[in-house]
Structure 1
Amino acid sequence: MPERLYGIRHHGPGSARAVVQELERQPPDVLLVEGPPEADALVRWVADAGLEPPVALLGYAADDPRRAAFWPFAVFSPEWQAIRWAVERGIPVRFFDLPFAYRLTDERRASPPDAPDAPAGPLTQPLPGPDGPSSSDPSSGEPNTGTDPGGPDAAAAPAEAEGERAQPRRPVDPIGELAAAAGYDDPERWWEDVVEHRGMPAFEAIAEAMTAIREQSPEDPDDLVREAYMRGVLREVRKTYEDIAVVCGAWHVPALARKVAVKDDTALLKGRKKAKVDFTWVPWTYGRLASWSGYGAGVTSPGWYHHLFTSADEVVPRWLVDAAGVLRAEGVPTSSAHIIEAARLAEALAALRGRPLAGLSEVTEAAESVMCDGEPLRVELITRKLVVGERLGGVPDDMPAVPLAKDLAAQQRAARLKPEALERALELDLRKETDLRRSRLLHRLRTIGVPWGEPTSTRRGTGTFREEWRLRWQPEFAIRLVEGSMYGTTVVAAATAKVVRAAHRAETLADVTALVETCLLADLAEAYPQVLAALDTRAALDADVNHLMAAIPALARTLRYGDVRRTDVAGLATVTSSLLVRVCAALPSAVGSLSDEAAKVLRDRVDGVHSAVGLLEDDELRDRWLSTLESLAGRADLHGLLAGRLTRLLLDAGRLDGAEVRRRLRLPLTVGTAPAHAAAWVEGFLSGGGLLLVHDEALLAVLDDWLADIAADAFDDVLPLLRRTFGAFEAGERRAIGERVAGPRTGGAGRAAGGLGFDPARADLVLPTLSALLGREIR
């Protein structure tokens, strides 16, 4: 008997119900599903309770894991439901799409060495490289161009060679043509009305409509190859089984039903080579299943479709109850009356529009009007949490995977740190054993290119007792783990090997310095000696004082806080001291005749080293450093920014008293000195904060007098510098300085009495008006 072709919409809950109904009505001897045949051995896992959708088949080239693709499945995906139905009943299941191994060797699809591969396939998605952009960004890979009824194939259009005509492509949205023919502007609504809500088997009607569309559309060369292979599998399966069920994208049904000579299909497949590929199951998220993420076969509302598929009855009220829960969690008062009225409004809207049931658009409009008070942010919250959703799937612990992924799973359990799709904050206290274990794991993963956690506080770099992170698990981290396997079979071994390799390849001192801090944060004890040796070598060869100064802060943090993380930092003190001595010797020749930009860079370097010296708690090194600053601060050729900054550092360190500082301040502020130079001096001096001016009135008076004497034609040049300087002060500091400037020192009887220049006589003029406005007499 001829095989039964079930043309479905990828990730359509109505299609999923219809397929299961047909399979129950007429069980087949074998089930063929559109998908990569290399994953046939993984089909049995669908019956495992630990494999919880959304999940995805991950395929990758064995010799280059960056060349990879995902085939995602949700609980409402027709393919998932069909496979699960068959596996539970012991019916054989085979994937019968073009092998992924062929796609990787397709020269027309070959990606440049630094670009992600984007093989064709109804459930595939382009992926980033290990250090590339997120796959949620459509621009991160090659563009999705083909389209299955449920959405585009993630098929990359090959580059058009010079003088070569572009190959014809299938219609961008054939399902949109069906919807338009039925009078619908939105294909999603058409599917909801025709399939999702009615749950009616429409396979014959869909196949007929697709046949009509394909007759009027140019053929896609990629589809022709895929369908030739599919027909070959069908011919092979017919030799063994009589009753065959086929589940595939509706676009392919006409091609599979059409009779084509074997030699013609063979000619299309001739000469193709296979690459060595591996497959496994990995967790997926609804955010990655959504079409806005750049996934070609995605749907706009995976969370809503999940609700449609899993809710047996009362679909709209249950959805609105969940929406109310989302709003309540954010502090928005939402009562049961809101839910009842929103449900009534959704049903009324559906009736007015002639729809069989309220769909997502009616439910959203009702929730916006009744529950959200028309607030777009509340509607966006419901959309993010419910319409799209961020459900994260799971895979069994004994699922075949690379050793590195298995070790990570064990580390996650030991640290009691569960991967989650939703972003969440995590604060760690490194004095606690569990939090210290978590910190090391997160830092090690970042080292091997798996940024599960992103530090959110600058305190992370100082090694204090607390760290703050933002955690969010991304499905593509599975690829990074496969890539990281080349460095080791455990997280710590892979991170160690990668750091050692980076140390050997480092070309600058700053590169190695960062690795030293990485060894501290991630506790890579075995990598530390080799990184330290590389640091010593680079420090001896690098003569640039800026490079030497840039290296010292990270080394000082490592020395100071190594004990907090229980890390042995022996040997690092000698290297750090040597660098500081070299900086003190080279700095005098580096500060002369600097441009404004170079002065800013050097000012920041000096600040960094000064803070680092404070962390080292070495009196001898501190005296050497401050003596160097003293010898530089009085130089006539010193840029004003540096001169002011060095003076401030010496004042804070107790090397200068207030009288000497005021004397030095008057020198650049005297008549005859360029206002721009004076303003740079003031900027450098005050960049440490404004409290000094609050407490030293004499210093404030010097600065105020200079400012008042600036000529009008020069004031416009000075103002931006001063505005930038004072704008960096805290609001309380600026207020206190303003009160000081406007206080008794400025003169005037009224100002002396009021401090801010308050004039009681002028204030009395507004009292009659205030009395009339308030209806009572104001004195």
Structure 2
Amino acid sequence: MPERLYGIRHHGPGSARAVVQELARQRPEVLLVEGPPEADGLVRWVADAGLEPPVALLGYASDDPRRAAFWPFAVFSPEWQAIRWAVDNDVPVRFFDLPFAYRLTGDTKQPTPAPGDPGPPSSEAPGGETVGPVEGGPGGETVGPVEGGPGGETDGPVEAGPGGEAGPRRPVDPIGELAAAAGYDDPERWWEDVVEHRGMPAFEAIAEAMTAIRDNSPEDPDDLVREAYMRTVLRETRKKYSEIAVVCGAWHVPALARKVAVKDDAALLKGRRKAKVDFTWVPWTYGRLASWSGYGAGVSSPGWYHHLFTSAGEVVPRWLVDAAGVLRSEGVPTSSAHVIEAARLAEALATLRGRPLAGLAEVTEAAEAVMCDGEPLRVELISRKLVVGERLGGVPDDMPAVPLAKDLAAQQRAARLKPEALERALDLDLRKETDLRRSRLLHRLRTIEVPWGEPAATRRGTGTFREEWRLRWQPEFAVRLVEGSMYGTTVAAAATAKVVRAADRAETLADVTALVETCLLADLAEAYPQVLAALDARAALDADITHLMAAIPALARTLRYGDVRRTDLAGLATVTASLLGRVCAGLPSAVGSLSDEAAKLLRDRVDGVHAAVGLLEDDGLRERWLSTLESLAGRADLHGLLAGRLTRLLLDAGRLDGAEVRRRLRLPLTVGTPPAHGAAWVEGFLAGGGLLLVHDEALLTLLDDWLADIPADAFDDVLPLLRRTFGAFDAGERRAIGERVAGPRGAARDGGSDGLGFDPQRADLVLPTLSALLGHDIGPGGRGAITTSAANGEVR
């Protein structure tokens, strides 16, 4: 045969070095590489310095970008190095796997894996990653629902056979079988010893071993179709060239070397339809390349493999120097002596284990023992930053891409925000022009479902001049940008169109309200009038008081902080005032005869509206709201949770004094009132924090007396409510309350002006229960420590 078949391990640095050596020796006239043939026109970009791995080929259906797949490449991937060699030496390159376009039509016939079947071998996966609802794909990692299991790669979603049974599958891991035959329980280590470290091509030996494995394994119908196409391309290539190099997964080598009649291959491929697809290069990350991320053809240590491939010598010392740098960056003192001793230990471990050189296992164990002091978190830090790596690839600015992606790249440059694989914090001051531009860009991207930034929970929704974000770029955002292109060619246009569409389709008032705030945050001025019109229409039709109340907080935040973002909010104040008026009018009829769950919901809605009214610069609206609360707070049919909460809000607003609050508190806490009602009242009243009990001794005494008088048979029903109430207090508040209750040590219950006193005999009653909880007997002699701890708001 005129061709040489190089069966490689996908993403194996040893395979990459060996392939380049063999290509330089063979000097082929053409190179065939396992991959989607629709991407042949993109090979020329490999010569561009701007195409920096890790990168991936992205293929997607032209009419439905959600149906897409990736083919990742790292600098140490054999396919990448083979293509680079061919481009540098003016050798034509052709991808010769089954076209992606065939997969999208659903013409492939594939069996469904049985439950627990991890699918095809992870070490010999064909290198594509499926994204979204792809009806078949040339191979790869699935982002989203994985059909085939986490242990291996699936060549796209798998269709069920008759009865749903599983069809024949190739061995779970043929490379693992080779490693086991050589006495290794870890295929990764076998490859390190045989290929990565010794640099042995071993292409003939691996092909022979794969032939033996395939002869004793059932064939996968999907593999048969792919390999029939590969052989077809190979036959066509032989007609034009005499020296052919073929780089593919080792699993396929026996099938390509086998003599199969042309008619048999043609029968497998006959009648298959093609969909229209588009391809481009996109950046990739080592985190997504790692096998733990779900990528079947991935490797567990891409950062380590990058180091193996790019280090000219002194692999172990250089690696440990980098590890020391990682530790130092986190404040861990690491000296050159640590590096020297760790290198010696790694070499000693390799010698004891009969290995030619120290591998990842040895350097990791050495670093853990010498440099990390056995701390798992430090080892994890090295693993995340070095073993897996945080490298993000890049593509040239003039790479063919959808206009939306090009506009985003321009926006990123203008805002001086560089996509990074590593998560990082971003603190924005919205009074600064650059930070305001960054905030708008991040919010617009979230609108089109590209969540490059996630607002930090500590700042989200506070409406201040500052925002905190967590930024991390994910490769699959490239697909989201393609999907978003149907809405517009710029980020602003796409976000505007999507918000307008969502407003038209919104079914509830809350849905539209969220869009109003989105218009503010993302500065979507063109969408605002249509969203406001939708809000007005939904508000007029919605009669549910809880829906109206849920809409007000976002509107109030928008009104209060619109000036910060320099947004025109004309008309929104009128809608907000109208909603609040309807809430004040409808609330009296909504608070009567409520269940516990309904009372909790309404309590949360009241809190939200109360906070929102405080943001509005309208004294008339605030007065109307407080007057409504005053009229409701004294009603006898009010649920205890609401009665207590309204009393607390009026106290904080200065509409009630301490004496009136204590009077109202006595009513639900009197004998004859169900304890559960009193506990609900207390829960609602104290939801604003516990400092009130610290500073109001009369209120604390009243509450303490009520607790002491609760009948024993009712206390178990009240305890969960009280625990939930006091458990929400800050630790400092609980400690201060404990100190106030304890008072001077040994004081009588009715004595002492500095506290409520402490009764030792009553405290002894809890000792049996504490003994059972803590697992050992606590006699009266141990009461002192417990008392001291209780006074500090703790139990030890």
Q: TM-score, normalised by structure 2?
A: 0.91
Q: Please state how far the C-alpha of 1:24 moved relative to its aligned partner.
A: 1.0
- Does residue 32 (structure 1) correspond to residue 46 (structure 2)? The answer is no
Aligned to 2:130: 126
Give, in whole Å, the separation in 2 of the partners of 1:226 and 1:139.
Answer: 22
Report the 3-state secondary structure (helix = DSSP H, G, I; strand = E; otherwise coil) of the residue aligned with 2:131.
coil
Report the 3-state secondary structure (helix = DSSP H, G, I; strand = E; otherwise coil) of the residue aligned with 1:459.
coil
Report the 3-state secondary structure (helix = DSSP H, G, I; strand = E; otherwise coil) of the residue aligned with 1:602.
helix
Which residue identity is paired with 2:51?
Answer: L
Aligned to 1:772: none
- CA deviations on 1:379-425 (whole Å, 9 max, x unpaired) are 11111111111210000000000000000000000000000001111
Aligned to 2:620: 620
Give, in whole Å, the separation in 2 of the partners of 1:157 and 1:558.
Answer: 45
Aligned to 1:268: 268
Give, in whole Å, the separation in 1 of the partners of 2:758 and 2:286.
Answer: 63
Aligned to 1:770: none
Q: Please state how far the C-alpha of 1:757 moved relative to its aligned partner.
A: 5.9
- CA deviations on 1:349-404 (whole Å, 9 max, x unpaired) are 11111111111111111111111122222111111111111210000000000000
Aligned to 1:503: 503
Aligned to 1:11: 11
Aligned to 1:115: none
- Does residue 452 (structure 1) correspond to residue 488 (structure 2)? The answer is no
In the TM superposition, 1:419-430 aligns within 5 A as 419-430=419-430
Q: Please state how far the C-alpha of 1:747 moved relative to its aligned partner.
A: 5.7
Which residue identity is paired with 2:447?
Answer: T
Report the 3-state secondary structure (helix = DSSP H, G, I; strand = E; otherwise coil) of the residue aligned with 1:525.
coil
Which residue identity is paired with 1:126?
Answer: T
CA distance change for structure 1 residues 710 and 364 in 2, over 3 Å: closer, same or farther? same
In the TM superposition, 1:513-552 aligns within 5 A as 513-552=513-552
Q: Please state how far the C-alpha of 1:620 moved relative to its aligned partner.
A: 1.1
CA distance change for structure 1 residues 744 and 14 in 2, over 3 Å: closer, same or farther? closer
In the TM superposition, 1:622-701 aligns within 5 A as 622-701=622-701
- Does residue 281 (structure 1) correspond to residue 248 (structure 2)? The answer is no
- CA deviations on 1:582-616 (whole Å, 9 max, x unpaired) are 00111111000001111000000001001111111
- CA deviations on 1:543-563 (whole Å, 9 max, x unpaired) are 000000000000000000000
Give, in whole Å, the separation in 2 of the partners of 1:722 and 1:605.
Answer: 22
Report the 3-state secondary structure (helix = DSSP H, G, I; strand = E; otherwise coil) of the residue aligned with 2:467.
strand
- CA deviations on 1:281-302 (whole Å, 9 max, x unpaired) are 0000111111111111111111
Q: Please state how far the C-alpha of 1:121 moved relative to its aligned partner.
A: 6.7
Report the 3-state secondary structure (helix = DSSP H, G, I; strand = E; otherwise coil) of the residue aligned with 1:60.
strand
User: Which moves more between the two structures, 700-709 or 253-262?
Assistant: 700-709
- CA deviations on 1:663-720 (whole Å, 9 max, x unpaired) are 1111111111111101111111111111222222222222122122212222221122
CA distance change for structure 1 residues 333 and 750 in 2, over 3 Å: closer, same or farther? farther
Aligned to 1:77: 77
CA distance change for structure 1 residues 656 and 693 in 2, over 3 Å: closer, same or farther? same
CA distance change for structure 1 residues 109 and 581 in 2, over 3 Å: closer, same or farther? farther
Residue ranges of structure 2 left out of the alignment (5+ in a row): 113-123, 760-780, 785-796
Q: Please state how far the C-alpha of 1:158 moved relative to its aligned partner.
A: 2.5
CA distance change for structure 1 residues 560 and 157 in 2, over 3 Å: closer, same or farther? closer
Paired residues, number:
750
In the TM superposition, 1:85-484 aligns within 5 A as 85-108=85-108, 122-128=126-132, 140-144=144-148, 152-156=152-156, 158-163=158-163, 166-484=166-484
CA distance change for structure 1 residues 581 and 765 in 2, over 3 Å: closer, same or farther? closer
Give, in whole Å, the separation in 2 of the partners of 1:640 and 1:277.
Answer: 63
Residue ranges of structure 1 left out of the alignment (5+ in a row): 113-119, 768-779
Give, in whole Å, the separation in 2 of the partners of 1:600 and 1:292.
Answer: 42
User: Which moves more between the two structures, 268-277 or 381-390?
Assistant: 381-390
Q: Please state how far the C-alpha of 1:140 moved relative to its aligned partner.
A: 2.7
Q: Please state how far the C-alpha of 1:43 moved relative to its aligned partner.
A: 0.2
Give, in whole Å, the separation in 1 of the partners of 2:630 and 2:312.
Answer: 80
CA distance change for structure 1 residues 688 and 52 in 2, over 3 Å: closer, same or farther? same
Report the 3-state secondary structure (helix = DSSP H, G, I; strand = E; otherwise coil) of the residue aligned with 1:166.
coil
CA distance change for structure 1 residues 522 and 400 in 2, over 3 Å: closer, same or farther? same
Does structure 1 retain, via aligned residues, the 8 Å contact 2:131–2:143? no
Give, in whole Å, the separation in 1 of the partners of 2:749 and 2:381.
Answer: 59
Q: Please state how far the C-alpha of 1:569 moved relative to its aligned partner.
A: 0.5
Aligned to 1:64: 64
Aligned to 2:731: 731
Give, in whole Å, the separation in 2 of the partners of 1:138 and 1:72.
Answer: 13
Does structure 2 retain, via aligned residues, the 8 Å contact 1:550–1:608? yes
Does structure 2 retain, via aligned residues, the 8 Å contact 1:742–1:751? no
Which residue identity is paired with 1:105?
Answer: T
Give, in whole Å, the separation in 1 of the partners of 2:61 and 2:749.
Answer: 85
Which residue identity is paired with 2:273?
Answer: K
CA distance change for structure 1 residues 91 and 161 in 2, over 3 Å: closer, same or farther? closer
Does structure 1 retain, via aligned residues, the 8 Å contact 2:147–2:158? no
Which residue identity is paired with 1:122?
Answer: P
CA distance change for structure 1 residues 216 and 157 in 2, over 3 Å: closer, same or farther? farther
Report the 3-state secondary structure (helix = DSSP H, G, I; strand = E; otherwise coil) of the residue aligned with 1:461.
coil
CA distance change for structure 1 residues 406 and 522 in 2, over 3 Å: closer, same or farther? same
CA distance change for structure 1 residues 749 and 727 in 2, over 3 Å: closer, same or farther? closer
Q: Please state how far the C-alpha of 1:136 moved relative to its aligned partner.
A: 12
- CA deviations on 1:2-50 (whole Å, 9 max, x unpaired) are 1111111100000000011011112111111110000000000011100
CA distance change for structure 1 residues 747 and 347 in 2, over 3 Å: closer, same or farther? closer
CA distance change for structure 1 residues 765 and 316 in 2, over 3 Å: closer, same or farther? closer
Report the 3-state secondary structure (helix = DSSP H, G, I; strand = E; otherwise coil) of the residue aligned with 1:126.
strand
CA distance change for structure 1 residues 396 and 256 in 2, over 3 Å: closer, same or farther? same
CA distance change for structure 1 residues 544 and 745 in 2, over 3 Å: closer, same or farther? farther
Report the 3-state secondary structure (helix = DSSP H, G, I; strand = E; otherwise coil) of the residue aligned with 1:649.
helix
Give, in whole Å, the separation in 1 of the partners of 2:546 and 2:638.
Answer: 17
Does structure 1 retain, via aligned residues, the 8 Å contact 2:125–2:296? no
Which residue identity is paired with 1:102?
Answer: Y
Aligned to 1:20: 20
Does structure 1 retain, via aligned residues, the 8 Å contact 2:640–2:684? yes
Does structure 2 retain, via aligned residues, the 8 Å contact 1:557–1:612? yes
CA distance change for structure 1 residues 511 and 491 in 2, over 3 Å: closer, same or farther? same
Aligned to 1:582: 582
Q: Please state how far the C-alpha of 1:127 moved relative to its aligned partner.
A: 2.1
- CA deviations on 1:527-556 (whole Å, 9 max, x unpaired) are 000000000000000000000000000000
Give, in whole Å, the separation in 2 of the partners of 1:708 and 1:536.
Answer: 53
Give, in whole Å, the separation in 1 of the partners of 2:550 and 2:128.
Answer: 45
Give, in whole Å, the separation in 1 of the partners of 2:141 and 2:721.
Answer: 40
Does structure 2 retain, via aligned residues, the 8 Å contact 1:154–1:295? no
Does structure 2 retain, via aligned residues, the 8 Å contact 1:108–1:158? no
Report the 3-state secondary structure (helix = DSSP H, G, I; strand = E; otherwise coil) of the residue aligned with 1:6.
strand
Aligned to 2:718: 718
User: Which moves more between the two structures, 465-474 or 154-163?
Assistant: 154-163
Q: TM-score, normalised by structure 1?
A: 0.93
Does structure 1 retain, via aligned residues, the 8 Å contact 2:66–2:483? yes
